[in-house]
Amino acid sequence: MDLREDSVRLESLQATSRNMSSSSAFFSANQSPFFSPRSSTCQLSESTRSDAQCNSINFSADPPSSSSGIQVPECLADVGFSGFQKFDHVPSTTLVASGIRSSYDHMGDNGYNVPIAKHRKHMRNHDMSFSPVPISLSSNRRRSYDVYIGLHGRKPSLIRFTNWLRAELEVQGMTCFVSDRARFRNSRKHELRERAMDVSSFGVVILTRKSLRNPYTIEELRFFSSKKNLVPIYFDLRPGDCLVRDIVEKRGELWEKHGGDLWVLYGGLEKEWKEAVNGLVRVDEWKLEAQDGNWRDCILQAVTVLAMKLGRRSVLERLTKWRDMVDKEEFPFPQNENFIGRKKELSELEFILFGDITGESERDYFELKARSKRKNLTVGWSNSSSAEERHRASGSQKGKEPVIWKESEKEIEMQSFERQHYQRPKGGQSSRRKRSKKTVYGKGVACVTGDSGIGKTELLLEFAYRFHQRYKMVLWIGGESQYIRQNYLNLRSFLEVDVGVGNSIDKSRINSFEEQEEAAISRVRKELMRNIPFLVVIDNLESEKDWWDQKLVMDLLPRFGGETHILISTRLPCVMNLEPLKLSYLSGVEAMSLMQGSIKDYPIADIDALRIIEEKVGRLTLALAIVGSMLSELPINPSRLLDTINRMPSRDILWSGREVHLLRKNTFLLQLFEVCFSIFDHADGPGSLATRMVLVSGWFAPAAIPISLLSLAAHKVPKKHNGTQFWRKLLHSLTCGFSSSYSKRSEVEASSMLLRFNLARSSTKEGYFHFNELIKVYARKRGVTGAANAMVQAVASRGSLSLHSEHVWAACFLLFGFGNNPKVVELRVSELLCLVKQVILPLAIWTFVTFSRCGAALELLRVCTDALEAADQAFLTPVEKWLDKSLCWKPIQTNAQLNPYLWEELALSRATVLETRAKLMLRGGQFDIGDDLIRKAIFIRTSICGEDHPDTIAARETLSKLTRLLANVETHTSS
């Protein structure tokens, strides 16, 4: 929908005969004259939302469909749109666009397209009471709004803020009208917008530095002040800045540039202008400030105030509940108070995502208007280049769209361009162009790449904490290939959408499993594509394709260029053909500061030792942090620590796979890990709880691990009394006084030790913590006997689907093996049956029904069936005992004969799994497969329980339903 549609739809108010309630928060798409019938994205939403109110941007330059009965007048046919999308928004269907350009090309320096004299005449004809325009519009036909939002300007940050405010209000059921009235020359359009002001319950006026010289903003201030329903929002101002005396006398840094006789620009009388500005001082109840670091708080406060005044109690309850959830679950880790360096990387990420720099980094960049000579060219300017040379090089070609260039001290980067990489010619051959990688600025997607332990997660976390106020919420997703889809669908609770199989895309027929999964993903994507900004952080993306079905991960993400931003960290060299931000090592000063910690007065010999350690650990940020914590916790200097690490014997480990490449070539880092384990063992005896917690952590999922579950698994790992007398004496000399304060550690004390030595990281969830992937890989490759079994047993005995679903899946991967992955854990039959009943079946049903992950649930049940069948075959295999050999006349028995009750339980468990699979096949229309599965289950139950058993009867009823549906399908196919 574009500006022409908005104007025409407002004009259609006079002729419409629809009776719409002014207090209704939502309205039907078919009843509303403001709903675009051509908008394919406007559909009814779940729960209390309305897509007609808060759908994503859908600006179309085409006129409305003829079926709507609305024609575009000839006087509007010359309204042009080019380049950036324009906005002046009216009713609750579309939101403010992301930029405005062409409509301002004909304006004067002050940005107004209405001459002052003409505006004065217009004001005299329409007094400030804004009486209804002389066009008959009966009250029962008038469209009323809860909130009128007035603004002035085309700054991207202002438009982004207004988009968000309007979308948030409409999500909460408040109808809005948004307009920048200075953009219009047609008096008819002004009358329509004045009418919208008159029928709005409250007026929100967003004030910027240029607002007080805008005649229409002054009119809005006077009008809503007279009605005592003005809600001012100070965008780049403060309430103390809006003093008439300071403005007129050009007092202060702000008004030296923007102040003076602004009532002349207003086009009215000085008295009227001063009354409007002084009216802001009298609005004591609502003084909302939208500074760079509090957008979220300001918008939520505005929504709360307006909901309270409109009597929407349910809105207040929802906002309170949402705030509590965000405070607990927004970030996976607490902010690192000792974060060092990365200023350049943080500024670059801000530039890539927003296309602009604000705050402290703003002085390093300034905007240039330029024209590109070639579309796919990277241009670098030296500091000596003159302005004339830059102008000749960038603006000589005609017919090109203007683009925004950002200049720093070293180079100019152009928004939305492709950077081409060239290969040098070899042996006289012409140069060949390599695969191009797109570096897109201001499109809301950024990728950070680097080795494990280099600090990618730390960088993303610091960025999220610094800029979280620019987003409604930070949504953190683990990018590991086996878990990314589940992690993505877990966003349902934050976005308040239902992704269960009950919300099928077409309830008139049975949808396939693939359609149901795509519908669930689409519902999450749809929420992320509204004009409410979210920051989606995908940490440690392992592959561009999903592990389960090899579909592109990009299919999960919302479109680029919207309000939601995507931030990715990965070890991959390239993701989605985007040129990533290659994360380098910390500088020497920063690395030294991280290792030294609070101790700054080391002698030269120790400083040299620290530099050697830095080089030997590969300058990894993780290793530097561990070294710094060891120097802080132990009475040891860097020289002695270096000697201890060098003398620590390295373990013989069989390295294989891409993930262990970094560990294979860095033996010094492995020795550093072993020194930490030896310290723990010395403090708490051989095989300390802290050491075993680290070693068993490698088999858990990448998500946060509950300390109680990790401790339970660690207690199941047998202790080993390794180490020589020499090492015990050496560590005793290093940790004198240390063991006395750390002896006989409990679960909490062991966890505290891991956190203090930076081997684990605290989580925002109480009682949880994380381990770095490097440490987990080393824990798995170290090959501690029984660690994987201990993890599976701990999850089986104390795991919870709602709290630990990732770790329950990790246990299933170890137990069954999926795809080409081998089985790691072997359980006894009794343990397997208990796991199937308490874990496998509930997990499969929960995954299928709650998240519509049909393929994963069915695959889990399939491999479970294979495991049960293999155990059944083992029961039927004849076994010999040494006692039976002396009794030649005694027949050889099987395990089924020796353990008949266990064998029956195994068979019935297999029947239950088969029946569950058959019932799920009903939900996906695969009746033939379901028919075969349920017949096997009936045969087992009939053989063991009999035909009259309730379970057998229930299975036969399922078979009858499948047979009937299968016959209907065959009949329909044949006809």
**How far is Cα 219 from Cα 187, in angstroms, rounded to an integer?**
15
pLDDT for the residue numbered 418:
37
Q: Does residue 109 belong to any structural domain of this protein?
A: no
Q: pLDDT: is 160 or 374 the higher one?
A: 160
Q: Does residue 243 belong to any structural domain of this protein?
A: yes
The mean pLDDT of 198-208, rounded to a whole number, is 93
Q: Show the domain range for 904.
A: 827-878+893-974
Q: Among 14-28, 575-589, 611-625, whose mean pLDDT is lowest? A: 14-28
pLDDT for the residue numbered 40:
36
Confidence of residue 656 (pLDDT cuts 50, 70, 90): low
pLDDT for the residue numbered 851:
93
pLDDT for the residue numbered 281:
82
pLDDT for the residue numbered 709:
93
| CATH number of the CATH domain containing 296 | 3.40.50.10140
**How far is Cα 536 from Cα 253, in angstroms, rounded to an integer?**
38
Q: Token pair for residue 72?
A: 């575009």
Confidence of residue 64 (pLDDT cuts 50, 70, 90): very low
For residues 697 and 714, the answer to whether their CB atoms sit within 8 Å is no
Confidence of residue 357 (pLDDT cuts 50, 70, 90): low
**How far is Cα 185 from Cα 114, in angstroms, rounded to an integer?**
6
pLDDT for the residue numbered 13:
40
If we measure between CA atoms, which residue out of 27, 104, 15 comes closest to residue 68? 15
Q: pLDDT: is 376 or 714 the higher one?
A: 714
Q: Is the pLDDT of residue 271 over 60?
A: yes
Q: Is the pLDDT of residue 441 over 60?
A: yes
Please list the residues that pair with 582 across neighbouring strands.
Answer: 449
Identity at 723, one-letter amino acid code:
G
Q: Does residue 248 belong to any structural domain of this protein?
A: yes
Q: Is the pLDDT of residue 910 over 70?
A: yes
**How far is Cα 932 from Cα 521, in angstroms, rounded to an integer?**
30
Confidence of residue 444 (pLDDT cuts 50, 70, 90): confident
| CATH number of the CATH domain containing 463 | 3.40.50.300
pLDDT for the residue numbered 657:
61
pLDDT for the residue numbered 500:
86
Q: Is the pLDDT of residue 710 over 80?
A: yes
Domain count within the chain: 3
Domain limit, last residue, from 261, 287, 321: 321
For residues 430 and 411, the answer to whether their CB atoms sit within 8 Å is no
Highest mean pLDDT among 416-420, 428-432, 887-891: 887-891
Identity at 39, one-letter amino acid code:
S
Q: Which tens digit of pLDDT belongs to each residue from 663-707? A: 777 889 999 999 999 998 887 777 788 999 999 999 999 999 999
pLDDT for the residue numbered 879:
58
Average pLDDT along the chain: 75
Q: Is the pLDDT of residue 395 over 60?
A: no
Identity at 2, one-letter amino acid code:
D
Q: Is the pLDDT of residue 436 over 80?
A: no
Say if residue 213 is exposed, middle or buried (CB neighbours under 10 Å; 0-12, 13-18, 19+).
buried
pLDDT for the residue numbered 54:
36
Q: Does residue 793 belong to any structural domain of this protein?
A: no
If we measure between CA atoms, which residue out of 599, 676, 677, 587 comes closest to residue 631? 599
CB atoms within 10 A of CB 133: 17
Residues 6+ apart with CB under 8 A from 489: 499, 520, 521, 524, 851, 852, 853
Domain limit, last residue, from 259, 294, 321: 321
pLDDT for the residue numbered 929:
93
* DSSP assignment string, 206-232: EE-TTGGG-HHHHHHHHHHHHTT-EEE
Domain limit, last residue, from 528, 548, 582: 582
Q: Does residue 792 belong to any structural domain of this protein?
A: no
Q: Is the pLDDT of residue 157 over 80?
A: yes
Q: Does residue 490 belong to any structural domain of this protein?
A: yes
Helix, strand or coil, per DSSP, at residue 400: coil
If we measure between CA atoms, which residue out of 758, 760, 669 comes closest to residue 711? 760
Q: Is the pLDDT of residue 516 over 70?
A: yes
Q: Is the pLDDT of residue 249 over 60?
A: yes
The mean pLDDT of 748-774, rounded to a whole number, is 91
Please list the residues that pair with 447 across neighbouring strands.
Answer: 568
315 and 457 assigned to the same domain: no
Question: How many whole angstroms from its chain centre is CA 143?
Answer: 37
pLDDT for the residue numbered 574:
86
Count the alpha carbons within 13 Å of 363 in the hemisphere toward its beta carbon: 1
Round to the nearest angstrom and report the end-to-end CA distance of the chain.
Answer: 45
Confidence of residue 31 (pLDDT cuts 50, 70, 90): very low
Helix, strand or coil, per DSSP, at residue 709: helix
Q: Among 129-133, 184-188, 386-390, 701-705, whose mean pLDDT is lowest? A: 129-133
pLDDT for the residue numbered 299:
94
Residues 6+ apart with CB under 8 A from 401: 82, 83
Q: Which tens digit of pLDDT belongs to each residue from 522-561? A: 999 999 998 899 999 999 999 999 999 888 888 888 887 7
150 and 295 assigned to the same domain: yes
Highest mean pLDDT among 350-359, 606-615, 714-723: 606-615
pLDDT for the residue numbered 239:
86
Q: Is the pLDDT of residue 233 over 60?
A: yes
Sheet strands side by side (includes 705-706): 705-706, 768-770, 761-762
pLDDT for the residue numbered 658:
58
- Rounded to 10 degrees, what is the CA torsion of 242, 247, 250, 256? 60
The mean pLDDT of 187-197, rounded to a whole number, is 87
Query: What is the biggest distance separating any 2 CA atoms in the chain, rounded to whole angstroms?
Result: 121
Angle between helices 295-310 and 313-329 (to 10 degrees): 160
Q: Is the pLDDT of residue 795 over 60?
A: yes
Q: Does residue 592 belong to any structural domain of this protein?
A: no
Please list the residues that pair with 417 across neighbouring strands.
Answer: 439
Q: Which tens digit of pLDDT belongs to each residue from 798-813? A: 888 888 999 999 999 9
Residues 6+ apart with CB under 8 A from 803: 706
Q: Does residue 533 belong to any structural domain of this protein?
A: yes
Element (H, E) at 419: strand 417-419
Confidence of residue 899 (pLDDT cuts 50, 70, 90): confident
Confidence of residue 896 (pLDDT cuts 50, 70, 90): low
pLDDT for the residue numbered 359:
52
pLDDT for the residue numbered 82:
32
